[in-house]
Structure 1
Amino acid sequence: MSKTNMDIFETLESEVRSYCRDFPTVFAKAKGHKLFDENGREYIDFFSGAGALNYGHNDSKMKEKLIEYIMDDGITHSLDKATTAKAEFIEKFNEVILKPRDLNYKMMFPGPTGTNAVESALKLARKVTGRTDIISFTRGFHGMTIGSLSVTGNASKRKGAGVPLNHTVTMPYDQFVDETDSIKYLEQYLEDDGSGVDLPAAMIVETVQGEGGINAARFDWLKKVEEICKKHDILLIVDDIQAGIGRTGTFFSFEKAGIKPDIVCLSKSLSGYGVPFAIALFRPELDVWNPGEHNGTFRGNNHAFVTATAALDYWKDSSFEESIQEKSKITLDYLNKIVEENPELNGKVKGRGLMVGIECENGEIAGRVTSEAFNRGLVMETAGMDGEVFKLFPAVNIDEDALRKGLEIIEESVKAAVKEPVTN
């Protein structure tokens, strides 16, 4: 196979491209936790498609089911027509995921991406309640379309909208400011007639903020947010697009908090195979949509239904979840060791499950770590407002030996990165 000239990307692809700048090679193949570039070099993938590949690349069972479906001329595109593939997914998701967790949700297929799910959730909350405003939280990220940007905290991404982003109120996320009781702050704004904050239709929250810097809300804080929502008849939306599908140790990231959101947004790893797929889950009594009132041409991605159904086999019993939690402990212990043994990093371990990272003094140091890691054969990215957190998103089914090898590369990369002087 001929090698790709990197100039083609420089000359013909838009300047908006980003990840190819961080990982300057041409990738050609992938399997499980491994990526291979055109030169045959192997990389351990601790990026996992920004959370879209929780089961790794080209899972054999999912691939087999998808090839079989394609070769049998199964329906590819169907809008929201009834298909065999959709029926099989709905039934299996209900039996394997919802019922065992005592969750009674209707399923809506709004379009194939995470921001489609968020837009539908915001629209539904406003339709149900008749109210306009949405409360979101500092450093949250919910997507790149206008409605999703309006509840996103990142200033540079909000600026890209090019228009004012209205009808939202931002409140402090858990531990956004040290020693500040953000729950009390939230309650005061809702209950004080002089606060200037109208009763919102909904609150939207990530249990662990991915793009915002791997900030994990305490379970007690999430429980109190739910209680406030119930008290004031506000709908609680959990954006589980990046933190869900096993990333934090359980299928839904909110399970251990003991809460039951009114609406849940899922995408990224829902298809299991990296195929675009999103759903919004909501309590049946909230299903007030008129037919076609919210739609999308690609809301019937049957290839995604096929692979998503196959992916649910991982969750038929508790063994898979237990394995994720075991690997999460290994990872957490190793990151704490790195911070302890490299005091010049001034690092802080953050996150939950296999959605973790180390916060550095600034983005320059974190960027050095990811660059050093890439040079050593490991792919991972940074997060946070200044890119100050290097974050680990290994496949949740990665084997322990590969996980430890990746962690060793990170340790080596940290030691190399802190040796360099910081530029002003």
Structure 2
Amino acid sequence: MEIFNQLESNVRGYCRSFPVVFESARNAVLTTVDGDDYIDFLGGAGTLNYGHNNPQFKQALIDYIEADGVTHGLDMHTGAKEAFLHSFNELILKPRDMDYKVQFTGPTGTNAVEAALKIARKNTGRQTIVSFTNGFHGVTQGSAAVTANGKYKKSIGMALPGVHFMPYDGYLGDFDTLKYFEKALQDGSSGLGHPAGVIVECIQGEGGLNAASAEWLRGLQALCRRYDMVMIVDDIQAGCGRSGRFFSFEEFGIEPDVITLSKSLGGYGLPMAIVLLKEHLDTWKPGEHNGTFRGNNHAFITARRALESYWKNDDFAQAVRSKASMVRSHLKQIQAEHGGQMKHKGRGMMQGLEMRTGELAERVCELAFERGLVIETSGSDGQVVKILAPLTIEEEQLKRGLSILSQCIADVMAEQISAAS
């Protein structure tokens, strides 16, 4: 451990919560250099939907490397890219009647968001982007501007113009926040003006597992169309099956103008990001948004295998929804056992419990780690204990992890009672 403290920057984060050295991993289990196993309810912050070292992808990647397949090719055509695009079109876009162009950005989600913001501004000639309370979209300058959490903005060290925040669904209780949004659009003295576009997460992962309703999302799309604003759905964490369907907005029948994908898109934990954009918005000049790593050919191989292994029919998605139902039932039971002192959040395999304080949530996660479960918090004050287990987790492993979590919450609540008395 000494080498990490000696050489690694203070910016490191997750390792502070999990102070061990991990050596290997398989599906939903992480193993340390000392041979200790941990159930993984973090899943690479949503990057490992198909688990660690998925054997269905591993051999394909090994074969490609051993055949001297192209590793780096800028944005040139390669066989690996061609095969991925074919599978993505046939298995994801066509079955959903989705007509989009595919833009390969740099390999991180934040780069896809940066491109999406540029697309909205470039096509409308306007500057302002509307984002939402508790939204998280990345920490590069443009993405941090549309991220709500103040700590990420502060680290930029300068003002971040061109963004206006609106209340997300449920932020003001039962009040329909879109009414306020539209009133501001209609009022020339609201200070909002005419935005270029809107960026939204259907499930706010880092923001505390706030899940927008179907009615709100449909209303937001209608608002965007009425006022000629580009609708961007950031599906970087909630996409690739996490919600129980490939896209987090599928079941609601909306059709975003722009979609950002990354994290689990690469399948194997390999970095890869894309922007899906309607053809009329594809007004880029060649190289206008570029980058050295616009095509991770190794990720193309594993991403294609993920699509062909899990998305040829609805079986995998149904299994995810079944596990999500199990998680929901378990969390609701925990909630009931503690007299409603915590709140259930999220949907799909992206659920958790909101504790009264961030300190309580942190204590739950700390105790869970001591007992062999890797799990983290989210929310504005870290008050939500957040489950992001791989979608491929075996049901028995999922039940075991949920049992550990349940006991940890019970013990933390007992600690509070004891301290109060």
TM-score, scaled to structure 2: 0.98
Equivalent in the alignment of 1:329: 325
Matches within 5 A, 1:332-411: 332-343=328-339, 346-411=341-406
Equivalent in the alignment of 1:163: 158
Equivalent in the alignment of 1:3: none
Equivalent in the alignment of 1:40: 35
- The yes-or-no answer on 1:252 pairing with 2:247 is yes
Secondary structure of 1:296 counterpart: coil
In the TM superposition, residue 369 of structure 1 has moved relative to its aligned partner by 0.7
In the TM superposition, residue 418 of structure 1 has moved relative to its aligned partner by 1.2
- The yes-or-no answer on 1:319 pairing with 2:328 is no
In the TM superposition, residue 181 of structure 1 has moved relative to its aligned partner by 2.0
Equivalent in the alignment of 2:285: 290
Sequence identity (%): 52
In the TM superposition, residue 389 of structure 1 has moved relative to its aligned partner by 0.2
**Inter-partner Cα distance in structure 2 for 1:357 and 1:179:** 21
* Amino acid in the other structure paired with 1:377: G
Q: Of the candidates 177, 184, 187, which is equivalent to residue 182 of structure 1?
A: 177
Give per-residue Cα distances to partners, 1:192-241, cap 9 Å, x unaligned: 12212111111000000011001000111000000000111111000000
* Amino acid in the other structure paired with 2:151: S
Q: Of the candidates 92, 103, 110, which is equivalent to residue 108 of structure 1?
A: 103
Equivalent in the alignment of 2:128: 133
In the TM superposition, residue 365 of structure 1 has moved relative to its aligned partner by 0.5
**Inter-partner Cα distance in structure 2 for 1:418 and 1:15:** 32
Secondary structure of 1:366 counterpart: helix
**Inter-partner Cα distance in structure 2 for 1:420 and 1:24:** 24
Equivalent in the alignment of 1:50: 45
- The yes-or-no answer on 1:98 pairing with 2:97 is no
**Inter-partner Cα distance in structure 2 for 1:198 and 1:83:** 44
Q: Of the candidates 37, 40, 55, which is equivalent to residue 60 of structure 1?
A: 55
* Amino acid in the other structure paired with 1:302: N
Specify every segment of 5 or more residues in structure 1 that has no aligned partner in the other structure, as ranges: 1-5
Specify every segment of 5 or more residues in structure 2 that has no aligned partner in the other structure, as ranges: none
Give per-residue Cα distances to partners, 1:33-71, cap 9 Å, x unaligned: 100011100111000000000111000011111000000
Secondary structure of 1:420 counterpart: helix
- The yes-or-no answer on 1:15 pairing with 2:10 is yes
**Inter-partner Cα distance in structure 2 for 1:158 and 1:194:** 27
Secondary structure of 1:25 counterpart: coil
Secondary structure of 1:320 counterpart: helix
Secondary structure of 1:204 counterpart: strand
Equivalent in the alignment of 2:302: 307
Equivalent in the alignment of 1:420: 415
**Inter-partner Cα distance in structure 2 for 1:421 and 1:207:** 34
In the TM superposition, residue 339 of structure 1 has moved relative to its aligned partner by 0.9
**Inter-partner Cα distance in structure 1 for 2:319 and 2:176:** 35
In the TM superposition, residue 180 of structure 1 has moved relative to its aligned partner by 2.4
In the TM superposition, residue 249 of structure 1 has moved relative to its aligned partner by 0.6
**Inter-partner Cα distance in structure 2 for 1:315 and 1:300:** 22
Q: Of the candidates 261, 264, 267, which is equivalent to residue 269 of structure 1?
A: 264
* Amino acid in the other structure paired with 2:194: L
**Inter-partner Cα distance in structure 1 for 2:253 and 2:215:** 9
* Amino acid in the other structure paired with 1:26: V
Equivalent in the alignment of 2:234: 239
* Amino acid in the other structure paired with 2:63: E
In the TM superposition, residue 179 of structure 1 has moved relative to its aligned partner by 3.1
- The yes-or-no answer on 1:209 pairing with 2:204 is yes
Give per-residue Cα distances to partners, 1:80-138, cap 9 Å, x unaligned: 00000000001110000000011000000011000000000000111111111100000
* Amino acid in the other structure paired with 2:104: F
In the TM superposition, residue 342 of structure 1 has moved relative to its aligned partner by 2.1
In the TM superposition, residue 285 of structure 1 has moved relative to its aligned partner by 1.1
Equivalent in the alignment of 1:198: 193
**Inter-partner Cα distance in structure 1 for 2:245 and 2:276:** 17
* Amino acid in the other structure paired with 1:209: Q
Secondary structure of 2:416 counterpart: coil
Number of residue equivalences: 418
**Inter-partner Cα distance in structure 2 for 1:301 and 1:37:** 29
* Amino acid in the other structure paired with 1:312: L
Equivalent in the alignment of 2:168: 173
**Inter-partner Cα distance in structure 2 for 1:171 and 1:69:** 47
